[in-house]
Amino acid sequence: MTLKVLGVESTAHTFGVSVVGFSGGKFEKPSPENTRVLSNIVDKYPSSAQGYIPRKLADHHSKSFKRLFANALEVAGVRSCELDAVAYSFGPGIGHCLHVGFVAAQSLSEFLEIPLIPVNHALAHVEITRFFCGACNPLVVYVSGGNSQIMALDAGRYRVFGETLDIGVGNLLDQVGRFLELDPPDALGVERLALKGTKLLPLPYSVKGMSFAFSGLLTALKKMRLETVEDKADACFSLQETAFSMLVEASERCLCHSRNSEVVLCGGNARSNRLKEMFSLMADEQGARFCVATHEFNGDNPGMIALTGLLMLRVGAVPAEKAPQQRIRIDSVKIGW
Ligand code: FE2
């Protein structure tokens, strides 16, 4: 390997450390032929009925670092002195959590005297999917707890065409999972129970051009009388069908304008089988190739941070600003690769 980059992920509930190795030549672009995720070690703080408390997440992350760092190096078969750079999640994310990852990465960078690379978390979700699927210039649909955006690369930046006007689709599903006291009390609980639903209940459908809003859905669902398991299953089924249809409609409208030949679905909620099915159908109908990463690389993972750090390092795009930013947007990053 000619380059080895360590990645630290710590934006929310997941802490992780990864090593990515690049063995290509000076003018070769990183691809699955010359680049490997040598290790991708994560420890997720479990979801609970109370939701996540930032201080507890930060505590979990700081206690996990030493163990995960040692594990990531061991699995990769790499010694710390062989690392060429350290990348970390710069934002967007929860301030407490971002700070833990930043301090860990900064300390390593100073100790090993290697570059410190701040990586935009949303961009990392996009890049790992492009990398594994070989997508060149896709329409990107990024779906997570914190955000939901439709975008495409134009003049060296990801331009956001449409996005949620209130909460991310993942936040909507997690809140419903907690409200209905599902097991687990999150989007996965909703997805599992939705499989048993049969009735499509009327719920607010709010698409505004290429953007959308989800909080009305949450309010409507909270006002329903949902007493039996069957009622809850119908509610989960209807919630997914309605919210996902909104995402697909807005994305299809974007695609009709942008005419990208690929559609990338990425982010934590790209693990939803129903969402993948709906996007795959839409892409097919529009003559576009549907691209989605595996389960491991759709959730928050340090491999995507290390890979994006590698891409940035290769083109010399290492920002001087290092302190994490909770609300940084993907369109603030100049794409030079
Ligand atoms: Fe994420």
How many angstroms separate the alpha carbon of residue 101 from the centre of ligand 1? Answer: 14
How many angstroms separate the alpha carbon of residue 156 from the centre of ligand 1? Answer: 22
How many angstroms separate the alpha carbon of residue 161 from the centre of ligand 1? Answer: 19
| pLDDT value, residue 17 | 98
How many angstroms separate the alpha carbon of residue 147 from the centre of ligand 1? Answer: 9
How many angstroms separate the alpha carbon of residue 169 from the centre of ligand 1? Answer: 12
* 9 within 8 A of 41, measured Cβ to Cβ: no
What pLDDT digit, counting tens, does each position of 151-179 carry? 999 999 999 999 999 999 999 999 999 99
- H-helix or E-strand spanning residue 127: helix 121-133
How many angstroms separate the alpha carbon of residue 299 from the centre of ligand 1? Answer: 6
Residues of the chain with CATH 3.30.420.40: 3-126+300-332, 139-260
- Domain 3-126+300-332: CATH superfamily is ATPase, nucleotide binding domain (3.30.420.40)
Q: What CA–CA distance (Å, rounded) separates 202 from 225?
A: 13
SS3 label, residue 159: strand
* 195 within 8 A of 272, measured Cβ to Cβ: no
| pLDDT value, residue 225 | 93
Sheet holding 262-266, edge to edge: 157-163, 148-154, 139-143, 262-266, 289-292
- H-helix or E-strand spanning residue 41: strand 35-44
Q: What CA–CA distance (Å, rounded) separates 114 from 303?
A: 19
How many angstroms separate the alpha carbon of residue 314 from the centre of ligand 1? Answer: 23
How many angstroms separate the alpha carbon of residue 93 from the centre of ligand 1? Answer: 8
What pLDDT digit, counting tens, does each position of 263-302 carry? 999 999 999 999 999 999 999 999 999 999 999 999 999 9
How many angstroms separate the alpha carbon of residue 142 from the centre of ligand 1? Answer: 9
How many angstroms separate the alpha carbon of residue 230 from the centre of ligand 1? Answer: 32
SS3 label, residue 14: strand
Q: What CA–CA distance (Å, rounded) separates 234 from 5?
A: 46
Q: Percent helix, strand, coil in the chain (nearest 5)? A: 45, 20, 35
| pLDDT value, residue 2 | 87
Q: Is the dihedral of CA 234, 239, 240, 246 positive or negative?
A: positive
- Looking at the domain covering 139-260, what would its CATH class be? alpha beta
| pLDDT value, residue 48 | 82
Low-confidence ranges of the chain (pLDDT < 70): 1
How many angstroms separate the alpha carbon of residue 298 from the centre of ligand 1? Answer: 8
Q: Token pair for residue 314?
A: 């290769």
How many angstroms separate the alpha carbon of residue 124 from the centre of ligand 1? Answer: 9
Q: Which of 137, 167, 83, 143 is nearest to 255 (CA)?
A: 137
How many angstroms separate the alpha carbon of residue 174 from the centre of ligand 1? Answer: 14
How many angstroms separate the alpha carbon of residue 238 from the centre of ligand 1? Answer: 25
How many angstroms separate the alpha carbon of residue 296 from the centre of ligand 1? Answer: 12
The CB-side HSE value for 57 (13 A sphere, CA atoms) comes to 26
How many angstroms separate the alpha carbon of residue 92 from the centre of ligand 1? Answer: 9
Q: What CA–CA distance (Å, rounded) separates 212 from 169?
A: 10
How many angstroms separate the alpha carbon of residue 267 from the centre of ligand 1? Answer: 5
* 300 within 8 A of 139, measured Cβ to Cβ: no
How many angstroms separate the alpha carbon of residue 268 from the centre of ligand 1? Answer: 6
Q: Which of 125, 136, 63 is nearest to 97 (CA)?
A: 63
Q: Which of 92, 96, 88, 102 is nearest to 60 (CA)?
A: 96
| pLDDT value, residue 73 | 98
Q: pTM to 2 decimals? A: 0.96
| pLDDT value, residue 131 | 98
Strand ranges for 71-156 from DSSP E: 85-91, 116-120, 139-143, 148-154
How many angstroms separate the alpha carbon of residue 328 from the centre of ligand 1? Answer: 13
Cβ neighbours, 10 Å, residue 24: 16
| pLDDT value, residue 168 | 97
How many angstroms separate the alpha carbon of residue 199 from the centre of ligand 1? Answer: 32
Specify the pairing of strand 148-154 against strand 139-143. antiparallel
